Structure 1
Amino acid sequence: MKRANDTKAQYQLAMDEEGILLAAQGILEQRLHRQGAITDPSTATAYLKARCSHLAHEVFGVMFLDTRHQILATEHLFQGTIDGCEVHARIVAKRALELNAAALILFHNHPSGNPEPSAADRAITARLKEALGLFDVRILDHFVCAGTQAVSLAAGGWV
């Protein structure tokens, strides 16, 4: 009986933590929308970390922006495993065109806790930049989020 109670308590704690993280994400999203335009990388960093750093599997998302860098939508477009996520330029381009986005901020998480961009991260950024450039949609940045950290590929010269 004690073991069942322990399991129930652990489950309840996990649910409470998830609720807190979702609430924090919602608050940060509201702040981001109230600020209006994305004017520098630090504006979006806290929100993106709250959105995906805690996940146990990799996700790849996009913040879609208009011509004044106002947020049109922020979405997780792809979900992967603990160490990878397959990203398709066709899906990103299709969604950007549906939303009439002029610019994008890409983001994904590293469940390992290491926010350093991999060669694959740099390659997908270059591939998306090239593909979306055909539609006059600019890639402003790509953030890799892990734990309490986020690394900007633009700051590293990879965008």
Structure 2
Amino acid sequence: VDGQSEQRLRQAKTNYAGERIILIPYNLGDFHWIGVIIKFKVDEQIELAEFINPVKESNFIPDKLQREFRNVFPSTVLRSRVSQIHGDQQYSAFLTIKNLLKAVKESEFAEIKSSNMNLSHIQVTDDRQRMNCLFEDQSLN
């Protein structure tokens, strides 16, 4: 993890406002991907901050990522999320995206269930693009 992850965390904090979910897939190199999910409340407080490392027996040490996260969000702890893993890091990009989307779905499902709504707004951030997606989860009906 180089300074790029801290820059992306700062963008997640400053480039958007309001209630949102930010997904940050990050390539560590050598086909090894990790992901970060941050869920913000309306008042800009962080409700959830987790990282995903889908590589079994990985050499990734999260200490630097934790430090960079604390530099941007000093009052929040970035926790490891239990996720689907694989022994071959070449599958990590696919599993990172799959695990991040699953985390969003679980988070949104809990929110939808509690608020009795089925329309959700998600902001996805990655290296190449930023996009806002408005989706309706038909499976909840």
TM over 0.5: no
Please tell me the TM-score bracket, short chain as reference.
0.3 to 0.5
Q: From the two aligned structures, give the one with the greater strand fraction.
A: 2
TM-score of the aligned structures, taking structure 1 as reference length: 0.36
Higher relative contact order (CA 8 A, sep 6+): 2
